[in-house]
Structure 1
Amino acid sequence: MLNYLKNMLSPKVSAKARAIDKRQQEYVVTTSYGGSSYKIYCVTFQFHDGSCKDFSVTPKTYQLIAKNDRGILKSQGNQFCKFTPNK
């Protein structure tokens, strides 16, 4: 909840970036009632100054972004908003 509020109070930022890595993390939760699994889709972006930042994205966004895509990344705090690849 605190992270959510921090992100919402942060300004929206647009920056040139390149997708340098993509990965899926699968988690399995087991209880006495059974188990379930879920995936988190992450993309690492590198910025003009060489710094990098990881973002969780939706499965659809994950499919649309290719490794080494360059474009404009829009984010708000630690939250991914949109990535528009160069044409």
Structure 2
Amino acid sequence: MDLFYIMSTIGPIFFIIIFGLIIFTFIKGIGEWNKNNNSPKLSVPAQVVTKRTKTSGGSGNSSSSTSYFVTFQVDSGDRMELKLSGREYGMLAEDDLGIIAFQGSRFLSFERRN
């Protein structure tokens, strides 16, 4: 077996796997978007339990991106972690009490109670 034969066999397989992962991610995103759109908009009392960030990229000449997540606990004791924008994330502190509005896994707003 020569190197050309191996590369000509592995190359298309590698391309198909990468292309398949891209398509899968795209379809999964559309499915979540559709599920959220078909979910009711709810507003319930909640408490901010914890906040976290996830940074990805940033090696070499590439830029990094940060995702912001907040875990809310509703009166029933159930917890949900939702992704927020950096601005929304910065406006919240752990133990804040208020009314959370969400639709499926989509964060809409948080109105703090005094």
Per the TM superposition, whether the score is higher than 0.5 is: yes
1:81 aligns with 2:108: yes
| Percent of residue pairs bearing the same amino acid type | 31
The residue number in structure 2 matching 1:45 is 72
Q: Could you tell me which amino acid in structure 2 is paired with residue 57 of structure 1?
A: L
Distance in 2 between residues matched to 1:38 and 1:3, nearest whole Å: 21
Q: Could you tell me which amino acid in structure 1 is paired with residue 74 of structure 2?
A: F
The unaligned stretches of length 5 or more in structure 1 are: none
The residue number in structure 1 matching 2:40 is 11
1:29 to partner: Cα distance: 6.3
Q: TM-score, normalised by structure 1?
A: 0.91
1:27 aligns with 2:56: yes
* Higher relative contact order, chain-length normalized (CA < 8 Å, sep 6+): 1
1:65 to partner: Cα distance: 0.6
The unaligned stretches of length 5 or more in structure 2 are: 1-29
Displaced runs of 4 or more, over 2 A: none
- Structure (1/2) with the larger helix percentage: 2
What is the total number of aligned residue pairs between the two structures?
A: 85
Q: TM-score, normalised by structure 2?
A: 0.70
